[in-house]
Structure 1
Amino acid sequence: MISFSRRLRLLLPALGLALFLAAPSLAGDAVFQYSTIDALLAGLYEGDMTMAELARKGDFGLGTLNGIDGELVVLDGVGYHVSAGGAAVVAPGAAAIPFATVSFFGGDRTLDLGTIDSLAALNEAVVAGLPSKNVFWAIRIDGVFPSVKARAIPKQSPPYDPLAEVAKQQVVVTLSGEGTLVGYYSPPFVKGVNVPGFHWHFLTADRARGGHVLDCSLNPTTALLDELRTLTVRLPASAEFDGLDLSGDKTGELHAVEKGPAKGE
């Protein structure tokens, strides 16, 4: 008869594997990404991952929907589709995405923020409070915003132009009041895969409006920071992705998309 201690030793490896596969919380320090920012810049606006699938990868994050249809904000486990003009609705589970970054938000640290008068000032304040600039950080900021300049791009139809051209159609709105910033800091070495530095989306407190943040001001509040040391990237399984030329440096195009001209300014 096999002793209890030996049975336990034999079961431990299998038990450990089962726990790893069954418990997403054990990977709570991980960021999941679908596709790459350079593929999006090149005009790959059709993905094969649905919102329902994305929800299993994280309860916090940002991205866009197929056809570069507005902005995606994932907050408290709900994915919100923000269309051009700023209106936000819950995204259907069957909706597909071409690009997204999500994680299970834990809030490892807090950072007190004073009055912030611009997005540049916010980025400076947050980066000064990061223990390391070589890892990923999910950042949640709930507060009162005197002003948020947010954009969303109207849904496109094929054949698609590169994102730097499409972004010229973005519609900018100015929002104010209570709301939440959903953001990520990514280290410099992710260039081409994700957005190095900060990427912010916004939702109003009633979850009715939002967008990709171009600028903002903020009353004193506390930021929640979640340290992420594991990156998982799932690439689209499509002939379009396989045929892209991703060999060049798209830094200039990314800057144009983040800061370029827009309607409504």
Structure 2
Amino acid sequence: MAQTLYALLLFLVLTPFSHGFAHAGDDLFQYSTIDALLAGLYDGDMSIKNLMTHGNFGLGTLNGLDGELVVLDGTPYHIRAGGKATVPPETAMVPFATVSCFEEDTILKLERTASLDALNTAVELGLPSKNIFYAIRIDGRFPFVKARAIPKQNPPYAPLHEVVKFQEVVQFSGEGTLIGYYSPPFVKGINVPGFHWHFITKDRTGGGHVLDCSLAPTTARMDALHSLTVSLPNSREFNALDLTHDASSALETVEKGTAQ
């Protein structure tokens, strides 16, 4: 069983559990930490089946850092290197993931957007607060999406900023969905401060971690999340990690998809 750490409890509104999920309402559930992933901990002890009890919307990766994970409308999708998306078995394991029960409470109108940086700026301007978490869903038409996934690695694992050089970048155009989270700056080391986006096509056959994109006018549906629950791996590997260093530079390399 994973050790559960109730970190950063920010309950502004107490919402009862619902929909049969272990954590619902305004809670963001996270397995492991981004710094552990950056350090090369690519094997976790949480299954897709267990993860899906905590939410119907989210993102992450699979053991061995095998591509990308998207959770949308209650269905998990495994996006392998090359961009192909399939539904993984319930027994598949994850080393890092964030999920929530998506219930929109804010709709933000978006004009035509030429880049991911422009999208981040537009969404950030529309956030009611920059001090809480948001799950963000954007359905629309995308002139282009530049996305990546990393092939499954073999142990001993290299740190993520080195492994990212093996990423496979693909480009999509057409209708699809951005699955994203905004996290406030104080989660540094735990999650990705700012925005983290994954993409999946409308027919749910392709996608990846978003490096850049453009989109036609549409809306962003946002769900404010006032609490964070972090479940830590119960393993000797996690316990032995040195997580005392500032990994901000490595995270920037990984998020932008550039190798050092």
Compute the TM-score of the two structures, normalised by the length of structure 2.
0.91
Give the equivalent residue in structure 2 for 1:44.
41
Quick one: percent identity of the two aligned structures?
66
User: Is 2:112 the partner of 1:115?
Assistant: yes
Letter in 1 for 2:124: V
1:21 Cα deviation after fit: 8.9
CA offsets 1:68-102 (integer angstroms, 9 cap, x no match): 00000000000000000000000110000000000
Aligned residue in 2 for 1:203: 200
Out of 137, 142, 155, the residue aligned to residue 140 of structure 1 is: 137
Query: Is the alpha carbon distance of 1:20 and 1:83 closer, same or farther for their aligned partners in structure 2, counting shifts above 3 Å?
Result: closer
Q: In the TM superposition, what is the alpha-carbon distance from 1:176 to its structure 2 partner?
A: 0.5
Aligned twin of 2:227: 230
Match of 2:185 among 184, 188, 213: 188
Cα separation, partners in 2 of 1:25 and 1:37, compared to 1, 3 Å:
closer
Give the structure with the larger helix fraction.
1
User: What's the offset of the Cα at 1:260?
Assistant: 3.4
Separation in 2 of the partners of 1:27 and 1:225? 15
SS at match of 2:221: strand
Q: Are residues 101 and 22 of structure 1, via their aligned partners in 2, closer, same or farther at CA, if it must alter by over 3 Å? A: closer
RMSD: 1.4
Q: Secondary structure at the match of 1:27?
A: coil
The superposition leaves residues 141-195 of structure 1 with CA deviations (integer Å, 9 ceiling, x where unpaired) of 0000000000000000000000000001000001000000000000000000000
Instruction: For residues 15-54 of structure 1, give each alpha carbon's deviation from its aligned partner in whole angstroms, at most 9, with x where no partner exists.
Output: xxxx759954883110000000000000000000000000
* TM-score normalised by structure 1 residue count: 0.90
Which residues of 2 match residues 59-98 of structure 1 at below 5 A?
59-98=56-95
Secondary structure in structure 2 of the residue aligned to 1:92: coil
1:146 to 1:157, Cα distance in 2 relative to 1, 3 A = same
Secondary structure of the structure 2 residue equivalent to 1:68: coil
1:258 CA drift (Å): 1.1
Report deviation, 1:246.
Answer: 0.1
Larger Cα Rg: Structure 1 or Structure 2? 1
Contact 2:183–2:192 (8 Å) recurs in 1:
yes
Structure 1 residue runs of 5 or longer lacking an equivalent are 1-18
Name the residue aligned to 1:9: none
In the alignment, which residue of structure 1 is the partner of 2:257? 260
Deviating beyond 2 angstroms after TM superposition, the runs of 4 or more aligned structure 1 residues are 19-27
On the 8 A contact 2:24/2:100 being kept in 1, the answer is no
Is the contact between residue 22 and residue 54 of structure 2 (CA under 8 Å) also seen in structure 1? Answer: no
Equivalent residue number for residue 221 of structure 1: 218
Compute the displacement of 1:200 (Å). 0.1
SS at match of 2:122: helix
Q: Equivalents in 2 of 1:200, 1:175: separation in Å?
A: 15
Aligned with 1:43: secondary structure?
coil
CA distances 1:122-142 after superposition (whole Å, capped 9, x unpaired): 000000000100000000000
Give the Cα separation in 2 of the matches to 1:106 and 1:184.
14
Could you tell me how far apart the structure 2 residues matched to 1:197 and 1:20 are?
A: 27
Change in Cα spacing, 1:22 to 1:168, as seen in structure 2 (3 Å) is closer
